[in-house]
Amino acid sequence: MNASQRALLRLHLTPGLGRTALFKLYRRFGNFTTPLQAPPQHWREAGLRGKLYNKIPAENSEKFQQTCHKIESLQVRLISFWDDDYPPLLREIHDPPALLYLRGKLPANDGFAIVGSRRATSAGLALTRKLATTLAQHNICIVSGLARGVDSAAHRGALDGNGSTIAVLGCGIDQIYPPENRQLFDEIQYENGIITEYPPETPPLAGHFPGRNRIISGLSRGVLIVEAAEKSGSLITGDFALEQGRELFAVPGALQNPNSRGTNRLLKEGAQFVTEAADILQVLWPNQPSRKEQRQSNNFTEQLDEPALKVFHLLGYEPLHSDEIARQCGLTPMELSVILLDLELRGGIQTLPGNHYIRSQL
């Protein structure tokens, strides 16, 4: 850790000094080293109680040194709100964490959250895993909370698809909760990311999980709830999703299943209906191919000359009229006609009525 990170860590470990206070200090001082030397009066000018100043752990205190040793031994990275590598979607929410503790790495691809019951049915777990696998194969990062049930199935499905996943904890970065997820924890941190806003040694208290849930939705473009009882904690994640302007999805369930009451209510209130991954992809990533499709597309485009490549890249999965293609590609109708015929014979595009064309699923 550099000096700035150590200063921020000391402030983050100060009892009673929370996220809001850290933002106030940064607005007042522009960094986190100056507040450690500033008189209490300057803290009061920043809108904070001067008494907090006396609670900051000393640089040489045993507690602070132990925390630093743990962070370094576990290879934990500190990412502050003001760092360039802070997750951009999370930065947009109204109450972003000031500091994240990270084990592993944060994938750069789009995030999608999948959450649900800790006591999900076998059918719910199987569907969760399948959905997560398919989304991961489309280069979408699966975000969840490493809890029992749906969360674990979502992470496992992402790993099945050789994709990326982020686990958000409601405890310290050195805590594995639930304990039976130790192997899953290790698999995720090896190639993906585990994050929390709570300092090391923070236990998994019930009051921490709503805060954890806002991060799960904050990291994601959409949130899917697979199974949730009427008062499930997963519904809190859904509330955060709506508050943060994220798309909310839900899987319908049997009326007699208590675990479906929450999700069925969400669907009645306007959540997107999901029974397969295509339901999510069509809303958020309508033109995003899977890795297999991308490889096939790359192999296909390697065989094309420049004019044909230009036409192929212009076409997507929404119909486009030949006149518009010719205009955007700067081709005569005769030149375009030859290219379109060749692309269709190769299986790269399809002809629709009215001289419209779309890209084929190679």
Q: Where exactly are the structural domains of the chain?
A: 1-73, 104-284, 291-359
Residue 46 pLDDT class (50, 70, 90 cuts): confident
pLDDT tens, residue by residue, 113-135: 999 999 999 999 999 999 999 99
- The pLDDT confidence band at residue 342, using thresholds 50, 70 and 90, is very high
What percentage of the chain carries pLDDT values higher than 90?
Answer: 80
Nearest C-alpha neighbor of 102 from the set 27, 241, 235, 200: 200
In tens, the pLDDT along 287-312 reads: 787 877 777 777 788 889 999 999 99
Average pLDDT over residues 63-76: 95
Domain 104-284 in CATH 3.20.20.70? The answer is: no
**Per-residue pLDDT reduced to its tens digit, 232-264:** 889 999 999 999 999 999 999 888 888 889 999
Q: In this predicted structure, what is the pLDDT of residue 230?
A: 87
SS (H, E, C) 145-178: CCCCCHHHHHHHHHHHCCCCEEEECCCECCCCCC
Q: Which of 1, 128, 134, 157 is nearest to 74 (CA)?
A: 1
The answer to whether the CB of 198 falls within 8 A of the CB of 89 is no
Whether the pLDDT of residue 266 is over 70: the answer is yes
Q: What is the mean pLDDT of the chain?
A: 93
DSSP 198: B
C-alpha span between 147 and 26 (Å, rounded): 34
User: Would you place residue 95 in the very low, low, confident or very high pLDDT band (cuts 50, 70, 90)?
Assistant: very high
Statement: 291-359 belongs to CATH 3.40.980.10: no
pLDDT confidence of 318, banded at 50, 70, 90?
confident
What are φ and ψ of residue 170, in 5° steps? -105, 30
Cα separation of 9 and 57, whole Å?
Answer: 10
| DSSP string computed for 235-289 | HHHHHHHHHTT-EEEE----TT-GGGHHHHHHHHTTPEE-SSHHHHHHHH-TT--
Whole-number Cα distances in Å, 66 to 62, 104, 253, 317: 6, 21, 48, 56
Q: Which phi and psi angles does 184 have, rounded to 5°? A: -65, -40
Distance CA 153, CA 169 (A): 16
- pLDDT bucket at 362, cuts 50 / 70 / 90: low
